[in-house]
Structure 1
Amino acid sequence: MRCRNRRASVCEPCSRLHAGDTFHLVRAGLSGGKGVPDAVCECPRLFVTLTAPSFGPVHRVLDGEHCHPRRDDPLCEHGRRLGCGLVHTDDDPLVGLPICPDCYDYVGHVLWHAHAGRLWDRFTTAVRRYLASAGGIARSGLGGHLVVSFAKVAEFQRRAAIHFHAVVRLDGPDGPGSSAPAWATEDLLLDGVEHAAASSFVTMPDSDAYGTERVGWGGQFDARPIRSFPDGDVPPDAAVAGYVAKYVTKGAAETAAGLDYRVTSLEGIRAAIVNDHVRALMGTCWRLGGLAELEHLRLRTWAHSLGHRGHILSKSRRYSTTYAVLRADRAEHRRTDTGPVDDPNTVTESTWRYVGSRHTLGAAQLAAGIAEDLAIGREFAREAMADWGPEA
């Protein structure tokens, strides 16, 4: 049976199937199929990237240029240099780490992750309000003219901060099979997402643990139209679907996203095989999770994902099909695919019986070796206790 784990580091076969399902789910919302009308490819569509704000300077890759060149070589209040004259490569372990860990805003980083889901909700609401205002209609009546559909994936940057890649689409009032009004153009949608990214924010509860009271998106924003075929810098729908599917299967170790399993204590955080930056973020989650005013954020429960508790991929109801439908179709195909039934030599066996449980030959040899090592260890322990005498 499938474990249905999306991470390739946990189960590669299941992650491969999950990536394929994600590709078809996103692609169906761009070009049709899987129950979505083919006319959806004529709807205005954008590929939007939203990032987290800066929480402090980190080492970065700049295509052969120096990381943080500083002519006067200043020092921070902790006595560390604020500049970095190195030229980093993609495989450099320093990339993504803070220039000065003591100056880095770990509290702000964790709280932004904890509010990223609400911030995305504010973003989509702001887009709808902008479109309603541009069309001269009430926000409550927007659904009678058009529907904003989306699918987004969360990706961790090298600095261990979440950013979102999203497909935003304008449909008619009856879903992807209908057309939006003539005034709802691709350019208007682009203006709407730009306005929403600049204006949406979330207010956090008051606490002595941090100084800021609201969080918003970072300055790195990108929005591009999507075409059915390659057109210069404009990505085709297949490339967008493949890009999204690639990132949903990456494990925590590949993306500096914390751990693939939950931690239950500070000792577990200290023992985790992560870099100091990720360990500091997990420790901050654990510390803030003990505050009464932040209890609703469940930071200790989600310390392994650095405070982010949202799904890796989410979509609006009308965007396209669902994972459940795709899995059901695959299961039905396997049940009904009986092979070359027209061949008279084909024998179909539909009755199964339990034969037994045992190791394969290779696994049996490995198990025997482990059992022998355990037996030798127990014998050594008995001999050691006998040498120590009753007082031991």
Structure 2
Amino acid sequence: MSAPLTLHRPGLAAGRDAQALQRAAAPDFFGWLEHTRAAAGCTRPVRLTGTLTAVEPGTGRVVGERHTDELPDRTLYKACGNRRAAQCPDCAWVYAGDAFQVVRCGLTGGKTVPATVAAHPVVLATFTAPSFGAVHHRHIPRHTCGDRRRCDCRPAPCHARRTAGTCPHGQPAACFTRHDANDPQLGRPLCLACYDHDHQVVWNAFSGELWRRTKQAIERHLTALCRRRGIAPVQVVTDSGKVRRVPPVRVSHGKVAEMQRRGAVHFHVLLRLDGVDPHDRHALVPPPAGITADDLDDAVHAAARQITVTTPAHPDRPRGWPVAWGEQVDVRRIGAGDGDVTDGKVAAYLAKYATKSTEATGHCSTRLNPDTIDAYADPEGDHLARLIDSCWRLGRPTHRHSNPTATLTGERQGDLDSKPNPYAGLRRWAHMLGYGGHFLTKARRYSVTFGLLRDTRAVYRRTEDADTPDTAGTVTAGTVTVGTLAFVGSGWLTNGDTLLANTSAAQYRERQRIGREELAHEAWLSGVAA
């Protein structure tokens, strides 16, 4: 019996090259490249089939119609749009660009956001999770390097103890290693048995609720401060025509979640102070003069100390788990003269984390189910295996009848399911170590939406070559393309197609990068000449 093809790397490369040469030698090769350009760099593009109809706006008259059977490969390719760089680097690159614009527009304005927001007080707050047990870490008490990105400072010992004893399970309670930045031990517990894995996955699951209550506490703190300083509330008219008195200051936020190496999330949050316009409650206006960034700083620290969420009862923990922030709450002011905390650097920093997930922990899998859970969960395994096992165990169905001798005779199944497990979501998000929230969220008023950026990009692509037919064979200028499409699969048809499409996309991105650099250089020369 021959070995599987996947184990023969040279054979795979030879087959891929042969497929690429066959595609490149085809008469419609350049038409195929143009057809796949929109999804060229995608790892697993979505393949669609159906009818594309060009309709004249206003009249509804059909201008042209074409079936995907007439297109190359008899299908339409669409990029998957995955935000995770580990899954699809090209789509994540596009998502990171959109995330950068979403974050930065909330700081400097632009793209329907007024430029006056640049004068609003803004802080960058970092909320961390509490300790669930001692883990290996790398700490540099004092930086002497000139560039943090190339830091070569010597770290302190991990867990130095004068008396290096042992924990109740016989494991050393000290670690004198000066860990490197890429040490796989970072984030791993000193003792797996001492570490509270259940509490950590529950904290991940309820961290979104903790943030919601924290923001409410920040706004309450600022409202009380306005009252003490004599800043009157503002009367606004609601959509129903009623007059309401609202606080004169409100907080708009943009939040990014980051997964730490130990498997707990922490949040980087941009908090911007806005005022209230009595004539237009949707307008973005500066806050009252009596409220400053110092007050916002104090409100963040006060809320982080006060807010605690007690989770619902669980058979394994009848009193629930306390969910609160860790002791490390860092607040930095944007645009306060610190070169490390500028608008552009903060936007790039948050956009980078928006494309990440659990890669920092070493775990990266799709959603788990009863057939795949045994490959990842183990109550006696390593740190990640125990976290996943905690998610699966705590999320088990717990709403069955408490009497083991009871039968279903004369009872409806719905009566037994009347009290579902509030921790059931832990099973759904076991591959995320319990965290089921979005990695980038924002307040409605903070900035533009991803939808607006995608629509703007789509309109630009349809109009940049208005005089040439598109891949559907219909003229896009002045028409709307309506697709009646169905999903037929995902991924490229051959490895050779993957090679050609990704190479073409890489060349296209490189041309774009060089063009941007040339434009920036010309602008710099113009400034020097002026």
Fold shared, TM-score > 0.5 on shorter chain: yes
Q: C-alpha deviations, 1:335-387, integer Å up to 9, x for none?
A: 11117x6xxxxxx234746xxxx96694699xxxxxxxxxxxxxxxxxxxxxx
Alignment partners' CA distance in 2, 1:142 and 1:88: 56
> What is the deviation of 1:145?
1.3
Percent identical: 41
Determine the structure 2 residue equivalent to 1:321: 448
Q: Shift of residue 26 of structure 1?
A: 0.3
Whether the 8 Å contact between 2:334 and 2:343 is mirrored in structure 1 is yes
| Structure having the larger proportion of residues in strand | 2
Q: In structure 1, what is the Cα distance between the partners aligned to 2:86 and 2:444? A: 30
- 1: CA distance between counterparts of 2:495 and 2:457? 32
Query: Is residue 125 of structure 1 aligned with residue 216 of structure 2?
Result: yes
- Amino acid across the alignment from 1:239: K
| Contact residue 310 and residue 320 of structure 2 kept, 8 A | no
Partner SS, residue 72 of structure 1 = coil
Counterpart for residue 254 of structure 2: 151
Aligned to 1:256: 361
Alignment of structure 1 residues 206-245 onto 2, 5 Å: 206-210=313-317, 213-227=321-335, 231-232=337-338, 235-245=341-351
1:2 Cα deviation from its structure 2 partner? 1.6
Structure number with greater CO (CA < 8 Å, separation at least 6) is 2
Question: 1:107–1:284: 8 Å Cα contact kept in structure 2?
Answer: yes
- Does the 8 Å contact 1:46/1:226 carry over to 2? yes
Residue type at the aligned position of 1:148: V
Q: State whether residues 312 and 320 of structure 2, in contact with CA within 8 Å, keep that contact through their aligned partners in structure 1.
A: no
Q: Which residue of 2 aligns with 1:349?
A: 469
In the alignment, the residues of structure 2 paired with residue 134 and residue 349 of structure 1 have an alpha-carbon distance, to the nearest angstrom, of: 61
The answer for the alignment partner of 1:382 in structure 2 is: none
Which protein has the larger Cα radius of gyration, Structure 1 or Structure 2?
A: 2
Question: Following the alignment from structure 1 to structure 2, what is the Cα–Cα distance between the partners of residues 361 and 234?
Answer: 44
1:307 aligns to 2:430 (yes or no): no
For the pair 1:72 / 2:159, whether they are aligned, the reply is no
Report if the CA contact (8 A) 1:50-1:220 is conserved. Answer: yes
- CA deviations on 1:156-196 (whole Å, 9 max, x unpaired) are 11111100000000111145631211112111111111101
Aligned residue identity for 1:2: A
> Given residue 153 of structure 1, which amino acid in structure 2 is its aligned partner?
V
Q: Which runs of 5+ in 1 are unaligned?
A: 342-347, 366-392
Paired with 1:359 and 1:308, the residues of 2 have a C-alpha distance of: 35
Runs of 4+ with deviation above 6 angstroms: 137-142
Aligned equivalents of 1:285 and 1:351: distance in 2? Answer: 47
Q: Report the TM-score, using the length of structure 1 for normalisation.
A: 0.83
| Match of residue 187 from structure 1 | 294
Q: Is the 8 A contact 2:334 2:342 kept in 1?
A: yes
Task: From the superposition, tell whether residues 192 and 284 of structure 1 become closer, same or farther in structure 2 (CA, over 3 Å).
Answer: same
* Paired residues for 1:1-392 under 5 Å: 1-63=78-140, 64-136=155-227, 143-174=246-277, 177-210=284-317, 213-227=321-335, 231-232=337-338, 235-252=341-358, 254-256=359-361, 258-265=363-370, 267-271=372-376, 276-290=382-396, 292=398, 295-297=421-423, 298-338=425-465, 348-350=468-470, 352=472, 362=496
Structure 1 residues 78 and 351, CA gap change in structure 2 (3 angstroms): closer
Q: Aligned equivalents of 1:246 and 1:361: distance in 2?
A: 29
Instruction: Assess if the C-alpha contact under 8 Å between 1:156 and 1:257 holds in 2.
Output: no
Residues 208 and 272 of structure 1: CA distance in aligned 2, closer, same or farther (over 3 Å): closer
Residue-pair matches, total: 351
